[in-house]
Amino acid sequence: VQLVESGGGLVQAGGSLRLSCAASGFRFDDYTIAWFRQAPGKEREGVSLIEIPYGSTNYGGSVKGRFNISKDIAENTVYLQMNRLKPEDTAVYYCAGTDCFCYGLETHTYDYWGKGTQVTVSS
């Protein structure tokens, strides 16, 4: 099982980035894929999830209305479009997978994790 994040970088406040999570080694369309983030000195925080077979999505309160999660089943990839970025969005962003359709953004629910991609938003 492998999850590989890409697309992070440095962006000015108000800008946009699109993260990608490429999945392999498991039945992608039987899973929930989520994005989490962790800033220095803080706990890992749930950002968004998508239930691949159903398309249902969920967002953390701090990103709702600014971020959008989507999927490409043919490419086994989940995307996180991040708009109107703020300095407080600065963190390492991880994607994670679970075969539970629990609709939750708790870290303990997820079995597989990528290594993360750094997002830095300058003010």
What pLDDT does 117 receive?
98
Q: What percent of the chain has pLDDT over 70?
A: 100
Q: How many distinct helices (H) and strands (E) make up the chain?
A: 0, 11
pLDDT in tens, 15-62: 999 999 999 999 999 999 999 999 999 999 999 999 999 999 999 989
Sign of the torsion formed by the C-alpha atoms of 67, 10, 76 and 37: negative
What pLDDT does 24 receive?
95
